[in-house]
Amino acid sequence: MESLNNLSDQELLVAFKNGFERAFEEIHNRYFDRLYLHAFKMLRDEEAAQDILQDVFVAFWTKRSDLNIQKSLSAYLYTAIRNRVLNVIEQDRVYNYHITSFTEFLDETSTAGGSQSNEDEALFQLFESEVNNLPPKMKEVFQLRVNEEMSYNEIARKLSISDKTVKKQINNAIKVLKMRVMYGRPNLAIFSFVFFF
């Protein structure tokens, strides 16, 4: 096979599944730009769109021997992109909902009065203390997201790190804080689950 650009998608797919690496390169080159635009139109985020494409093509490569594509190759790839985009959107929606709820709770407890507020204030102080005990980079990323309400992209640009690293640091911070708050105040375990999950 000297020239692959004249092959149909089906022929490329057969060659790819049979271990012909150049067929993968041709599929990648043939679809990358179109798939990137498709992901970018849904996300409006260049780095997130690139991450999704990388994930889809890595999965496509690693599952090559098990691929069972019933539809066309293009339909398969577009569906894979769409599903990944929807997963990202849903993860961000759920995360934003819970972090907003928790931030609102912290704001309320800082001004609340009465005996219940003493318990809430203790939780607030414990939370603040545990944030300060996070590893420096994780703490910085978390505080920019929660206190400054910066987007992932804004944090990534400010700290010269990837959007993916920002998300990972924030998710790790939430896991660490959840466990520390629960461990420090076990009677509030159920309560902390409400805000962290």
Q: Is residue 162 part of a domain?
A: yes
Q: What is the pLDDT of residue 4?
A: 74
Domain carrying residue 45: 9-89
Q: How many domains does the chain have?
A: 2
**Of the segments 36-40, 111-115, 193-197, which one has the largest average pLDDT value?**
36-40
pLDDT computed for residue 187 by the predictor: 44
- Region 177-189: mean pLDDT is 57
pLDDT: which is higher, 102 or 75: 75
CATH number at residue 170: 1.10.10.10
Looking at the fold, whether 76 and 125 belong to one and the same domain comes out as no
137-146 contact pairs (CB < 8 A, 24+): 137/169, 138/169, 138/172, 138/173, 138/176, 139/173, 141/166, 141/169, 141/170, 141/173, 142/169, 142/170, 142/173, 145/99, 145/170, 146/99, 146/103
What does the pLDDT average to over 148-165?
Answer: 84
Is residue 42 in a domain?
yes
Task: Give the residue from 89, 123, 148 where a domain finishes.
Answer: 89
Q: What is the CATH number of the domain that holds 77?
A: 1.10.1740.10
Mean pLDDT score, 14-39: 89
**pLDDT-wise least confident of 148-152, 156-160, 185-189:** 185-189
Output the pTM of the full model.
0.51
